[in-house]
Structure 1
Amino acid sequence: MSRRTALGAISLGAVGFAGYQLRGEAEALPTRPAARTGNNPIVRENVAQGSDQWLVGRDGTKGVSDDLAQIQGYASATSVSHGESIDFHISSHIAQECTVTVYRIGHYGAVGARHLLTSEPVRVQPGITPGPDSDTGLISCEWPVSWTLEIPPAWLSGVFLAVFTSQDGYRGYTPFVVRDTARRSDVLMVVPFTTYQAYNMWPLDGRNGKNLYKGYTADGQSGGNPERAYKVSFDRPYMQSGLPRWFDMDTSAARWAESSGYDITYATSVDLHEGRIDPSRYTAIVFSGHDEYWSEEMRDRAETAVDAGTHLAFLASNNIYFHIRLESGGEGRPNRVVTCYKEAPDPEPGAAGPTVRWRALGKKHRRAEQGLLGVQYNGILAEPAPLVVRESEHWFWSGTGLRDGDRIPDLVAVEADGFSPSMPRPKDTEQTLLSASPYIDRRDGGRAVQNTSLCENHQGTLVFVAGTFHWPLALADSEHRNPQVQRATGNLINRMLEPRGKR
């Protein structure tokens, strides 16, 4: 155990490293082309003029609510590639026309998005709000296709918004990703659409809405586990305005990455599940937000990435917590339903096992998420707490001016990760705990400790976990931006992009 690692483990229990050894001979290390930071398509893209006209309030537009459903829609896929088309299923509270405007999220001179096109007027009708399935709670719409978009070859991979603006002045959204898996970018960002859907309570109307946490009681109150769904569908809008819960974590990370000039492309968690992502094509894969709901296929491919020498960075917390299945939706379309039974008996567990917490799979917590990540979810915060720095001499904190024991205010928030001595640890790995932040768990008022973690295996492959929801927001969100977090994250990504032999 290195001195810095031993110091980082103080008061947290001894952190063991099974079979760690010095990095192997040069010929055994993965080879990558030189990083293209500052000279790549992303840099050229962000020279374009930005626009914030997509926001509610611009041009006198008004926001949408689920109980009135003034203008809402959903996309036929979470991602789409060049030359492919994506359908939008749109409903309005009255028969009328709307426009669909498409924006790409990025830096764009700190404006944050770029306008790409606006449709001709699109005729929309009121769509039927289906009731939940009596057995699974599944809510799946069958709205007709209102508008189809074919992705131009010139559009760069990124996070996109389709903006629906009705003739009577209401505005709603749905996100999607344009992927470019043919291009060997330095960095791939994976956007957590499976987790978006797990939290989607549409329709938030006091009657029908359900997600994987709760639903409504018979008297219209918000219930809990007895009322929740076991299955949720992508064939429905995201609740209220249509921006998924925690979407700002991902857009903040994307804006920061593009402002930093990294050569980056984008995909979704569904792409990871479906095998569209070849990990060996990227130097680093960044999981930008709250990435809680993972299928076995997703986890297998993340582990394959590490084996292939691809670095992983998880910028938030509570990652890989629930095991899910992706199942077919209406008309047999694959992977349109996220299934997770949690504590309830799973009627069709299959070879991957039941849809429970990952740490409950296998004997002796064999599949616990800490076995890949180095830390795992350990609590919900009653209120934000400071991140307490450890290992300040580590290259990760270089240039931040921070010292051991320094506190970054309110950085640990919502949910936290920490190291658990009783759970599996990453094999063949040296781990450094870069923070040790006490906080109060709101569930029982107990004390817990948050850890930011960095693991490095014998090949020099890194797995980073920030361990808090506010980390990605601190990169670019106007209310949370923090230059020390920006610098540390830049140190991390730059280190990942270095040729292995030059460290």
Structure 2
Amino acid sequence: MGAEQIRRWESGALAHAVTDPFGQGPLPWLRGSENYFDDTGQMVPWYADEILARGGSGGPRTADDVRRQIKGFASVGAVAPGESIDFHITVDPPQQFSVDVYRIGHYGGDGAAKITTSPRLSGIVQPAPLTADRTVSCHHWWQSWRLQVPSYWSIGAYVAVLTTADGYRSHIPFTVRDDHPADLLLVLPDVTWQAYNLYPEDGHTGASLYHAWDEEGRLLGEQDAAVTVSFDRPYAGAGLPLHVGHAYDFIRWAERYGYDLAYAETRDLHAGRVDPGRYRGLVFPGHDEYWSAPMRRTVELARDQGTSLVFLSANTMYWQVELAPSPSGVPDRLLTCRKRRGPGRPALWREVDRPEQQLLGIQYAGRVPEPHPLVVRNAEHWLWEATGAGDGDELPGLVAGEADRYFPRTALPEHQGRILLAHSPYRDAAGAARHQETSLYRAPSGAWVFASGTFAWSPALDRPGHVDARIQRATANLLDRICKRD
């Protein structure tokens, strides 16, 4: 296997980086500002010696899926304070490694804070992933470290940063949640993250719901991709899911301004671990494309009982999926989406007579190959209050990645009032004229349902180089109304 091919796969974003022009966003632990004393008493950066790490150029080295210097996954996605979470990690060549656990947040602009560090652990080379009908699983890996989450830890989005003694690094995201009431419940789209996961991106083994490889190492499309993918495996490349940065952008911004947030993952919605009645609103901060029937039922019931819904991306709830236990019986570790192959019902929600628009107010229209401006409409509405935005104003780069719009021939949800707050023309990959729209409606229960209709909304809240003060203020107007802040 040539070095050029390996570099091509190291990104962990080979297949779909094109749909997300924003990348991962800031990763504060890459600064290397913390130090520790190694076994010889020498002070070195906490992740690795810089000279060792990159031959003098500085910075840690990212593990890849070809050599698997260090890769891992967690036994569960979300855990409550007082519970434990197991990490299954492979290290090649075998050597010591450590795990630094960070919590995502504002933290004075740092973006995350280190919460704890593991002891030095002994790494082993775990067995090769198991494959069956393109489903890749590492459920047979030995446990490497158990983290007992203290009862005093804050709920939130966490990242375990794995670092080998010789300076290779990978990541494992996880969530700490509880069921205490809060103004807003932030729902992290772990089901969609796994759908895109191509681990291992090694040119022959890995598969996602989008891609797999043939015998010559050529990337195949959806027709030949996996039908079922497993949560019992690392994320490709650096170990962070595609689009994870959108959720982190929202978290940094919301915690900076003191919103009362609870945290969950979409599998918590699926499994019935979420009681929407505890929250004034549910917030879906990132690309959230894959939904099971129980997820949709829970969210529709939440709206109908007065809990508001905030969708800050596009292409939401597009594919219908099923979740099943792992071979060892752990629930919700296998994700299946039949797409257009084989017998059985179609997998698009709109093809089973339940189009997304009936919940969102708009629905997926297509990809946006180059960022375009978001064009403000109905600027007198309270959402745009104090933003300075006027009708027809263009917010540069705010229609990007993928876009939603209103489909006139598709039924709308029941509503007391509905308004479109942006209407933005763009060109698709074939050069055809298209448009994006941003929607808000009020359900008969009094719940607000907002859909941004673009990937670029969350990055505009707190992504360096993408912040837009008008989007920040509009989002605050929306959340303040949902939270009933004066």
TM-score range, shorter chain: 0.7 to 0.9
Residue number in structure 1 paired with 2:205: 208
1:182-202 deviation line (CA, Å, top 9, x unaligned): x11111000000000000000
User: Partner of 1:165 in structure 2?
Assistant: 163
Unaligned runs of 5+ in 2: 1-26, 33-44, 51-59
CA displacement, residues 193-248 of structure 1 (integer Å, 9 cap, x when unaligned): 00000000001111111100111122111110232000011000000110100000
CA distance in 2, matches of 1:429, 1:70: 56
User: Which residue in the other structure is 2:262 paired with?
Assistant: 265
Are 2:276 and 2:307, in contact at CA under 8 Å, matched by a contact in 1? yes
- The answer as to whether partners of 1:429 and 1:458 remain within 8 angstroms in 2 is yes
Distance, in Å, in 1 between the alignment partners of 2:149 and 2:426 is 46
Q: CA deviation at 1:461?
A: 1.1
1:186–1:264: 8 Å Cα contact kept in structure 2? yes
Match runs of 1:77-156 below 5 Å: 77-134=76-133, 137-141=134-138, 142-156=140-154
- Partner residue, 2:172: 174
Task: Output the CA distance in 1 between the equivalents of 2:157 and 2:223.
Answer: 35
Check if 1:423 corresponds to 2:410.
Answer: yes
Aligned match of 1:28:
none
Compare relative contact order (CA 8 Å, sep 6+) and give the higher one, 1 or 2: 1
Q: Take 2:223 and 2:381, find their aligned partners in 1: how far apart are those partners?
A: 47
**AA paired with 1:329?**
S
Q: Which residue does the alignment assign to 2:29? A: 53
Q: Normalising by structure 2, what TM-score?
A: 0.87
Compare 275-284 and 220-229 and name the one that shifted more: 220-229
- Structure 1 residue 328: Cα displacement: 0.8
Equivalent position SS for 2:72: strand
Tell me if structure 2 keeps the 8 A contact 1:388–1:437.
yes
Give the superposition deviation at 1:154.
0.9
Check conservation: 2:305, 2:445, Cα contact below 8 A. Answer: no
Give yes or no for the alignment of 1:372 onto 2:359.
Answer: yes
Task: Find the aligned partners of 1:482 and 1:408 in 2 and give their Cα distance.
Answer: 8
Name 1:24's counterpart in structure 2.
none
Deviation at 1:488, TM superposition (A): 0.5
Of 353, 378, 388, 1:401 maps to 388
2:453 aligned with 1:453: no
Secondary structure of 2:472's counterpart equals helix
**Where do residues 409-488 of structure 1 align in structure 2 (5 Å cutoff)?**
409-442=396-429, 444-488=430-474
Structure 1 Cα separation of the partners of residues 381 and 228 of structure 2: 44
* AA at the equivalent of 2:111: G
- Is the 1:54–1:163 contact (alpha carbons within 8 Å) kept by the matching residues of 2? no
Distance (Å, rounded) in 1 between the aligned partners of 2:31 and 2:365: 36
How far, CA to CA, are the matches of 2:346 and 2:135 in structure 1? Answer: 16
Query: How far does residue 271 in structure 1 lie from its aligned partner after superposition?
Result: 0.4
- Paired amino acid for 2:28: D
The structure in which a higher percent of residues are strand is: 2
Provide the C-alpha distance between the structure 2 equivalents of 1:393 and 1:52, rounded to a whole number of angstroms.
39
Whether contact under 8 Å (1:386, 1:409) holds in the other structure is: yes
Q: Does 1:300 align with 2:292?
A: no
Please say if residues 131 and 208 of structure 1, whose CA atoms lie closer than 8 Å, have aligned partners that are also in contact. no
TM-score in terms of structure 1 length: 0.85
In 1, distance between residues paired with 2:332 and 2:261? Answer: 25
Structure 1 gap segments, 5+ residues each: 1-50
Task: Identify the range of structure 1 (458-467 vs 203-212) with the bigger mean alpha-carbon deviation.
Answer: 458-467
In the TM superposition, residue 314 of structure 1 has moved relative to its aligned partner by 0.4
Distance between the aligned counterparts of 1:162 and 1:54, measured in 2?
A: 13
Q: Give distance in 2, aligned partners of 1:446 and 1:427.
A: 32
Q: Which amino acid aligns with 1:433?
A: L
Change (3 A) 1:249 1:212: same
The verdict on how the C-alpha distance between 1:355 and 1:86 changes in structure 2, with shifts beyond 3 A counting, is farther
Q: CA deviation at 1:55?
A: 5.7
- 2:65 equivalent in structure 1: 66
Give the drift of 1:468.
0.5
Distance 1:323 1:288 in 2: 19
**Distance in 1, Cα, partners of 2:324 & 2:28:** 36
Structure 1 runs, 4 residues or longer, greater than 6 Å off: none
Cα displacement string for residues 104-127 of structure 1 (whole angstroms, at most 9, x for unaligned residues): 000000101011110101112112
2:224 aligned residue: 227
Tell me, in whole angstroms, the C-alpha distance in 2 between the residues paired with 1:498 and 1:144: 48
- The residue identity in structure 2 corresponding to 1:284 is G
Contact 2:287–2:314 (8 Å) recurs in 1: yes
Q: Secondary structure at the match of 1:304?
A: helix
Residues of 1 paired with 2:216 and 2:318: CA distance? 32
**CA deviation after TM superposition for structure 1 residue 445, in Å:** 2.9
Cα distance per residue 1:122-151 (max 9 Å; x no partner):
1121122325313xx110012111000111
- Return 427-436 or 460-469, whichever deviates more: 427-436
Percent identity, aligned pairs only, is 43
Task: Let me know the Cα RMSD of the aligned residues.
Answer: 1.5
